[in-house]
Structure 1
């Protein structure tokens, strides 16, 4: 029986595999982790194999080879989490399977490749960057822009491994042995936006723009991370129009779901990064629960070509690039477990504090996870501010 090979690392229900359509007569075979096995659809799952980590590309490729030797070449390879996109592309290339190739995926995973594509448009500014092992390029960045600079992994996720170079002695970090390719970029201290949605190859069908309360790089043991969707208005429309020009450079004639991050530097938008995948943390849940649009379902359709149901649903629930439903969403996550006080009128879901589970992702592994919704954005701002204050107080008592 023909099958879809799925690389799966989520512990939760970001992907509703038991509801997504499959090509007729097909089943799912999965490569997952021991922790993520439980969130796969038992009724549709023909087989599964577990690896300690899907970050080990050699192990994933070897396991894919074993599955293919036993069951034949799959009809499709599906990867819905950012960390699995390159491995899925490598499997497709090795066995000549239809779908996104490594060169296409790298423009959304290799941050230097991203910048090269982003420089093909002018609606959104691009901060200069060079490979960390390009000594001359780093010197030129310093001569033109000075300190601080940012050192970060080219293929990193969730701001893992990001360091700020503030003075000359910090350049010693460039000489340290690095486990992965690194880059150096001009620093920007402006607030960060994330823009999420679906591009159909010609236009943005639907998107939302949100502002991080702090930044992903600040997320740590004593610092939560939060996001609030922007209010409807001119600022939101300005962002949407510029994002459309950027997406035309990245994916002309090709459909993608996307998670884009931008610096909001006054009237100037500066490119940070883009992923051809659904955003992390609580983003996929807010889209389903607040807007009744499943971006993960759209990503599944794009990779399997099994149906267009979720795309048709998204079109019917949006107009001029925005969801028809006017309610706004927000979320807060924290690495430590904490229960906010009552009286938060916009809070509609919180992760049970007694829940014990392991997750490979930084954000999915957060001990505190909160989702909020309201037609009143000011109420969202007040409640998120209150949550941050409560978490800061609770964690200071735990120190």
Structure 2
């Protein structure tokens, strides 16, 4: 059997290329990660993927692991390349009895007090170090070794939580954490070096020494942090000696390492700490890009027992690299107001936050602005780093989490269908708007908070949202309920650091082929399918799947181009429809889908997804017409929790969200209640259309639009029902293709049980019935009742009250 390699991953940038490290076709590879970090993972090649809010959330991680084990089987290897995840991986290896570093092996490399003790026992110079369970222990240490001292976590990373105490008064004013898991260390006023490379188990493999141009501690206080590789032969000789001794004392086998040293004015070297992982910040990138060695690949090989592909020295030791991190001008959380920098010949890569982006921190990766350099000497690169540090300014304004929030809606849609949604949002939070035209009826909801931009262009949306939030002191958010704008809105949210369903999850939902593949791989009940490009391929697919079949485009909306074909003659027409159908704002994708026909009633399930938890908000029964097409002619929201299929629907919908990597947002899932159980038709990463959210509010008291706004703002939505009745919408269609002359809904609106009668076609509208037209509706009638029969009776009466005149078309 192929091995099951479980990977714990948290980086959002492309630090590791797992698809290059292991063949996902030969081995079963699963991922435990976060929604943001899944961006660069080969998820479509994975045997399974589970998302958590943080890989440090112990309960969520263990629940996700249990789910992966149930689906794929126990892991045979566990990989974690980021320092903070090493402890979890070691603990799991012990629980599953797997090879690789265990707790006892990792402890002296993660616990800095144990590390200092082991190095001292090996005769390697380290600063004076002791445990610091309370202030008295720190005072006693300072009496012996002098002030200042450093107080730090025994298992900290990236200089987080380190405090320099200069006097007894500073110690008296310092607040100790409750767990007391600290150490105290002598402060050395020396230059700090770091050494990165590979220990083969017998000696040093490839390695590089670098000099910090400031200190990590200064960086946490707001100074820029830079590093340049060293080309001084004598210093490198001494660094090699202490590095070899340190690695030999700490490692029992091959390992990638990151070592930090103090270098005094007299040339003495003292070990600060060593980690069994690749260096942070830009170290993995410059090794891969400048020196041609992938430290992540080496670490992956060590943890999986594979051959280390990097067991060689640097090709060109004369090439010198460096990096620079520039933090924001204001404490995080903050919003980027402006970014200024100058071109620098020796700077070959940069990672710049978008103007308007929300910065919340989280290690060196999200520290602000990141630069990478290369040149012919240490002096040359150091000059470039220092010039860039001097010329770069990341101006930010603090964000007050307690201040009023502002929500930017992207493309609010036509007033008949979405006025209620904008009304619901504006009643809840200060609302702004981005759309392609100047505002009209929306001004009552947004005032002057709007920008005109192409809402289908991610860069334009990003700039418009950033401009609207630039002067806002409180939290910001972005939301769209327009299917055609989901991808651009999701990308803008990613660039600006705002909560939203990830662009990758949106694309998985938008492409029905990807949806089917992922649902099938995860074992979620769906439809059998084939991807076809020609009528001949479609015929072969239909013969294989069995008649009748459903033919559909890969990425349109509103059931456009979806046709039921009962035989070869109908199939040819259906394929042509699927391949040529269009929907405004959505581009066509390669080919079409031929799917098995799922018999049984069709329902839609609106869900609120927050921190990965999937909660059903309401269930609507879909009314279909104009066979063999799948025109949605109405929807009924009714009590559903006592239905025999309720629990299974909740489970299937939850599994579908997990398979597609959806952890945030309001979603709309369509299912068929087949004789063999509920099966997924599709998952949409947005609010339901066709007034379904309004029906949900009328029926249950839970407003899906308000829930979507709360989720976008990072708030927990209130999903407690206050009533349990029925609400239904019925759409009125013309009797033939035609041009609307008049439409009068006065009598229909006056019928008992009718809560709204909405005109959907103005005089002069040209309506073409399916499949020629897109939702050619005259009106929408909305009814409320205690039972479905009450709603149906009210709608039947109201239907007869709709007065209209139509000029038939040939």
If the length of structure 2 is used for normalisation, what is the TM-score? 0.45
Greater RCO, 1 or 2 (C-alpha within 8 Å, sep 6+): 1
Change (3 A) 1:25 1:47: same
Q: Secondary structure at the match of 1:277?
A: coil
Deviation at 1:49, TM superposition (A): 1.0
Q: Secondary structure at the match of 1:236?
A: helix
1:248 aligns with 2:240: no
Change (3 A) 1:298 1:140: same
Match of 2:324 in 1: 332
Deviation at 1:273, TM superposition (A): 1.0
For 1:357 and 1:290, the matched residues in 2 are separated by 31
Conservation of the 8 A alpha-carbon contact between 1:335 and 1:365: no
Conservation of the 8 A alpha-carbon contact between 1:128 and 1:185: yes
Deviation at 1:132, TM superposition (A): 1.3
Change (3 A) 1:228 1:149: same
Conservation of the 8 A alpha-carbon contact between 1:193 and 1:212: yes
Spell out, residue by residue over 1:340-389, the C-alpha distance to the aligned partner (whole angstroms, 9 max, x if none): 212x2211111144396988741101331100001132221211111121
Deviation at 1:185, TM superposition (A): 1.0
Match of 2:707 in 1: none
Structure 1: gaps (5+ residues): none
Q: Secondary structure at the match of 1:348?
A: strand
Structure 2: gaps (5+ residues): 329-335, 399-810
Conservation of the 8 A alpha-carbon contact between 2:194 and 2:212: yes
Match of 1:374 in 2: 375
1:146 aligns with 2:138: no
> In the comparison of the two structures, how many residue pairs are matched?
386
Spell out, residue by residue over 1:142-186, the C-alpha distance to the aligned partner (whole angstroms, 9 max, x if none): 222121111111111110111111111332367633356111111
Match of 1:45 in 2: 46
For 1:217 and 1:66, the matched residues in 2 are separated by 40
For 1:58 and 1:173, the matched residues in 2 are separated by 35
Conservation of the 8 A alpha-carbon contact between 2:159 and 2:220: no
Match of 2:259 in 1: 260
For 2:104 and 2:293, the matched residues in 1 are separated by 29
Superposed CA RMSD in Å reads: 2.4
Deviation at 1:221, TM superposition (A): 6.9
Deviation at 1:189, TM superposition (A): 1.6
Change (3 A) 1:219 1:175: closer
**Superposed counterparts of 1:1-399, under 5 Å:** 2-22=3-23, 25-122=26-123, 124-133=124-133, 137-172=137-172, 176-178=176-178, 181-220=181-220, 222-252=222-252, 254-266=253-265, 267-308=267-308, 310-311=309-310, 314-315=311-312, 318=313, 323-336=315-328, 338-342=339-343, 344-354=344-354, 361-391=362-392, 394=393
If the length of structure 1 is used for normalisation, what is the TM-score? 0.90
For 2:396 and 2:47, the matched residues in 1 are separated by 49
For 2:36 and 2:76, the matched residues in 1 are separated by 26
For 1:175 and 1:366, the matched residues in 2 are separated by 25
Whose radius of gyration is greater, 1 or 2?
A: 2
For 1:58 and 1:116, the matched residues in 2 are separated by 33
Conservation of the 8 A alpha-carbon contact between 2:49 and 2:68: no
Deviation at 1:137, TM superposition (A): 4.5
Conservation of the 8 A alpha-carbon contact between 2:43 and 2:49: no
